[in-house]
């Protein structure tokens, strides 16, 4: 196995997967600050390798928001979810990272519902639902 060569793109994908795994381990161990820091680094890496609207970049944005939320940084979580939502695209022409944009939209709806802002929550739930119909 040591004599097998991987292409540059394969090596980059392995690097991205390793970052996601590390972030999950940090998050599961309650080390949200380190997970947030790694998510921010990963977002930049994914953008550099795969582009702003890529699946991996938007997955990293979504992970950043989740970690902020779990750390109790709700304003930062909302900002990160909003950033992920920029990759929604349209129903007819969704971007590559659309699925995490929809997840982010759903998470925002839940946050607003928990605050008691039912009108705003309903707007986000409806927007998320459109992409699954």
Q: What is the CATH number of the domain that holds 101?
A: 1.25.40.10
86 occurs within a structural domain: yes
51 occurs within a structural domain: yes
25 occurs within a structural domain: yes
Tens-level pLDDT at each residue, the chain (133 residues): 455 676 877 889 899 999 999 999 999 999 999 999 999 999 999 999 999 888 999 999 999 999 999 999 999 999 999 999 988 876 666 778 888 999 999 999 999 999 999 999 999 999 888 877 6
Where in the sequence is the domain holding 13, given as residue range(s)?
8-130
* Model pTM score: 0.85
81 occurs within a structural domain: yes
CB 6, CB 14: distance < 8 Å:
yes
pLDDT score recorded for residue 40: 97
CB 98, CB 131: distance < 8 Å:
yes
Q: What is the CA radius of gyration of the chain?
A: 16
3 occurs within a structural domain: no
DSSP string, 1-49: -TT----HHHHHHHHHHHHHHHHHHHHHTT-HHHHHHHHHHHHHHHHHH
107 occurs within a structural domain: yes
2 occurs within a structural domain: no
Residues recorded for the chain: 133
pLDDT score recorded for residue 130: 85
78 occurs within a structural domain: yes
CB 35, CB 67: distance < 8 Å:
yes
As for how many domains the chain has, the answer is 1
The single residue listed with the structure tokens 């992409």 is: 131
Q: Give strand ranges (E) for the chain.
A: none
Reading the block at residue 119, the tokens are: 């009108």
């Amino acid at each position: 196995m040591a004599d097998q060569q991987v292409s540059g793109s394969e090596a980059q994908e392995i690097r991205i997967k390793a970052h996601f795994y590390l972030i999950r381990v940090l998050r599961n161990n309650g080390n949200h600050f380190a997970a947030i820091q790694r998510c921010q680094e990963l977002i930049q890496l994914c953008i550099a390798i795969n582009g702003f609207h890529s699946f991996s970049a938007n997955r990293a944005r979504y992970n950043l928001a989740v970690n902020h939320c779990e750390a109790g940084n709700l304003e930062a979580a909302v900002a990160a979810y909003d950033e992920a939502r920029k990759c929604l695209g349209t129903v007819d022409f969704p971007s590559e990272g659309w699925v995490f944009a929809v997840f982010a939209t759903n998470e925002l709806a839940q946050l607003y519902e928990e605050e008691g802002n039912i009108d705003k929550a309903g707007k986000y739930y409806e927007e998320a639902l459109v992409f699954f119909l």
